[in-house]
Every structure is written in C-alpha cells, then in structure tokens.
Amino acid sequence: MKQNWEREIRNYSNKPIYICDGKKYDDSADYVIINYDIIKNFHSLKIKEETIIQKSKFDLVIIDESHMIKNPQSLRTKLINDICKDIQKLWLLTGTPLTSRPIDYFNLLSLIDSPVARNWMSYVIRYCAGYQFTVGFNKVWNTNGASNLDELRERTSPLLLRRLKENVLDLPEKIITPVYLRLKSKEYEDVMGEYFDWIKNNPKESKSLSVQFTKLMKVRQIIADEKIKNTIELIENTLEQERKVIVFSNFTNSLNKIYEHFKKIAVKLDGSSSMKQRQDSVDKFQTNDKIKVFVGNIKAAGVGLTLTSGDVVIFNDLSFVPADHSQAEDRAYRIGQKNSVSVLYPIFENTIEGIIYDMLDRKKKIISTVLGDNLIEEEASEDILTQILNFGK
C-alpha cells in the first residue's frame, strides 16, 4: 500500500516523496509514507523527549485504513494516539469505520475530538448497550452491543465526510451471491463433536472468547480445505466466460492449493510477499492478459489494492469480521472498473459457516444504520459464539 500511495500522490504532485522502510527514516520530503508495523521504530511511549516522528513537526497526518486502530489497548493504537495529539490536522480514511460494533468507532471519534467520545463510560452505556458484570473480585464492562444507533449517526455526521461509490462514481453494479453447498465430512463432524464436548466439560475455560476462537480455528480450516474443489470449479466456470477472477482465503494451505491448480495463469499474494512481489502480482494481474486468476490472503490482499481487471470475486472461506469481506470485495469494485462485479460466497450451509454468513450480513446492517444508509432502529446482532453454541444444541 505504501507504493500505492506514492503512485497516487504522483498523479497530483511533483513534490518529493519518501517511503519509510525498516528503520530507515527521512523527513526532508514533503510526503513521508510509513506503515503501521514500523512506527515503533521511530516513536516510543517511554521516551519523554521528542521522538524522531515528533521532531518532524508534520502539518497533517493522514491515517489510511484507520479502522486498524480501533483497539485502544493495542500498541499500534497507543503509538498513533500519542503521535496525533500534537498534530493540528488529522484525516482518518477508511471504507469501514465500524468493523462490526459501535465500540469500534470510539477511538476514531476520540482522535478527531468528537464530543460524543469525550467520556468512554457514557459512550459505552448510550451506544454499546454497555453494562458491568463481576468476574471474581473484578468488575468488567460488556461493550459488545449496539443501541441508539440513529442518534449516534446524527451526532457524528458533522465530522464525517462520506462518499458512497454509487453516489460519486459511475460504477456498474456489485452483485453479491451466496452459493449454498452441502458438506459431507466425517472429520468435520468429529472435530465439531470434540468442540462441543470441550465446552460441556470445561465451563470455566470455555468462557474465554480467545480460547474458543482458537478451538474453532481447526474447524474453519477443515471447512476451507473441503471447499477448495468447489471454489476451483467456480473459478473454471468463470474463466470459460473469459472473465478474470480474484480469490480470497484466510488460510495458507487453501490459498496455495488454489494457486497451484492455476499456477500458469495465476499470481499469489499473502503475508510473506515482499513489497516488490506484492506490486508485481498486482501489475501482472492488471496488465497481462495471460494472468487470469489473482489468489490472495484476505488480510494481506484485501485492502489498498486496485484489481479492476477482475470482475468476479470469490471467497473460499469466511473471516469473522464483516469489514474484511467488504474491503476485499472492493478490490475489484473501485475506480477503473467497467463491468458489473460478481461476488460469490460458496457456503456449506449445514455447517457453522452458514450461521456465520447470516450473522455477518446482520452486522453489516448495524454498520449501515450508524453511517446513515439504513435509517431504521436495529438491535445488535447475536454474538458469533452464542450462535455456534445454539447450533450445537
């Protein structure tokens, strides 16, 4: 994405641009581009005197993909918050300011000094249906809900410059279609049985969301691997129509198998790809007529890239975050796209995946309510794990 920014800036300006890489830093350029993961090399929360970044005295900070700093407890967010407190102009850019819940919106609003976010407890109670409960001797806040969403939209709209693609761009349609399948897998049934047995026999440990998600990782991998043959069939059907395809997966094994099947006409991009490899994959897909398939990890390839040579997007498996899918869908659905974009979600409806897909769709509606696309009052969707547990009963 750093190279992407450089290319875009050069369309409008001839001023010097510097891309930070590793521990290399130079603020003599008018534009300094840096990625989240290396900010810690140039700024520290422990140093009281000015750090390298603070000494640069930037006039403006633009935070792209700003939904990545929603968690106030992460080091990434703490560093950004600390740097930005001394910056006079701050622009937050994102296609998905709410990744799934109103609590995700709080840090972004706080950064731009919205009155709504000046009191965390008031915000949580009013807009997250927040409440306290006791764990041992400690009181803990539940902030996973959503409430008074229309009011939140109205109070934040003056600080929000929102431009929907359909309003400002002459883009064709984006059609999202679930493709329902049936899974026959003894391995899946056995692992799900083990999961529910673990829940029953470990009532205390199973209350931890992180532990439960870890337990479910194997289930999701099985589903992803079982679906490869169906995804390959969808890709081949699309290629017969002489259309280019973008395929996403959360898992390296599934991604590699799909790539190997189409290797001669495909490119791949995952978390291990270098900056040069990333750009080469994008350029080949965009400009080489022989490259028909782009295979990418949903996190590594799902944001920032322009892949408008493709007009079919296929998700081999699901993320637990609706924003991941929206972002990845729009790699094809953006400026430069001339055709209607078809987004296909092959779903094993007799597994937990069918429930997760429906839940993700409901979470998108909560996001729409806050941002103004859907003006009806809507309650928060049920938690993923609650639905999965109900599925097992």
Q: What is the pLDDT of residue 100?
A: 64
Q: What is the pLDDT of residue 68?
A: 86
Identify whether 132 is part of a domain: no
Judgement on whether residues 63 and 189 belong to the same structural domain of the protein: no
Identify whether 231 is part of a domain: yes
Judgement on whether residues 341 and 240 belong to the same structural domain of the protein: yes
* Dihedral pair phi/psi, residue 323, rounded to 5°: -60, -30
Instruction: Kindly give, in sequence order, each residue whose CB lies less than 8 Å from that of residue 328, ignoring residues fewer than 6 positions away.
Output: 248, 296, 298, 301, 302, 303, 313, 315
Q: What is the pLDDT of residue 31?
A: 95
Judgement on whether residues 89 and 172 belong to the same structural domain of the protein: no
**End-of-domain residue from the set 77, 94, 111:** 94
Judgement on whether residues 238 and 345 belong to the same structural domain of the protein: yes
**End-of-domain residue from the set 74, 94, 114:** 94
Judgement on whether residues 273 and 375 belong to the same structural domain of the protein: yes
Judgement on whether residues 60 and 204 belong to the same structural domain of the protein: no
Judgement on whether residues 41 and 187 belong to the same structural domain of the protein: no
Identify whether 99 is part of a domain: no
Domain count of the fold of the chain: 2
Q: What is the pLDDT of residue 313?
A: 96
Identify whether 179 is part of a domain: yes
Q: Are strands 293-297 and 312-315 parallel, antiparallel or unpaired?
A: unpaired
Identify whether 312 is part of a domain: yes
Judgement on whether residues 88 and 208 belong to the same structural domain of the protein: no
Which tokens go with 366?
A: 């909560």
Q: How far apart are CA 362 and CA 227, in angstroms?
A: 24
Question: pTM for the full model?
Answer: 0.64
Q: What is the pLDDT of residue 211?
A: 75
Judgement on whether residues 87 and 222 belong to the same structural domain of the protein: no
Judgement on whether residues 196 and 305 belong to the same structural domain of the protein: yes
Identify whether 328 is part of a domain: yes
**Domain enclosing residue 40, as ranges:** 2-94
Instruction: Kindly give, in sequence order, each residue whose CB lies less than 8 Å from that of residue 137, ignoring residues fewer than 6 positions away.
Output: none
Instruction: Kindly give, in sequence order, each residue whose CB lies less than 8 Å from that of residue 42, ignoring residues fewer than 6 positions away.
Output: 20, 25, 34, 51, 52, 53
Taking the mean position of all CA atoms in its chain, how far away is CA 175?
Answer: 20
Identify whether 104 is part of a domain: no
Identify whether 48 is part of a domain: yes
> Which CATH number characterizes residue 172's domain?
3.40.50.300
> Is residue 228 a contact partner of residue 254, using CB atoms and an 8 Å limit?
yes
Judgement on whether residues 318 and 199 belong to the same structural domain of the protein: yes
Q: What is the pLDDT of residue 91?
A: 95
Q: How far apart are CA 124 and CA 90, in angstroms?
A: 24
Judgement on whether residues 201 and 307 belong to the same structural domain of the protein: yes
**End-of-domain residue from the set 50, 68, 94:** 94
Q: What is the pLDDT along the chain (393 residues), one digit of tens a residue?
A: 787 788 789 889 999 999 998 899 998 999 999 999 999 999 999 988 889 999 999 999 999 989 889 888 999 999 999 999 889 899 999 877 665 689 989 999 999 999 999 999 999 999 999 999 988 888 899 998 989 988 998 999 888 888 776 666 666 788 888 888 889 889 999 988 888 888 888 877 766 666 777 778 888 999 999 999 999 999 998 998 889 999 999 999 999 999 999 999 999 999 888 888 989 999 999 999 999 999 999 988 888 889 999 999 999 999 877 778 888 998 998 888 888 899 999 999 888 888 888 877 766 666 555 655 443 323 333 456 667 766 665
Q: What is the pLDDT of residue 266?
A: 96
Is the alpha carbon torsion for 169, 320, 159, 38 positive or negative?
negative
Q: What is the pLDDT of residue 364?
A: 63
Which tokens go with 172?
A: 């064709």
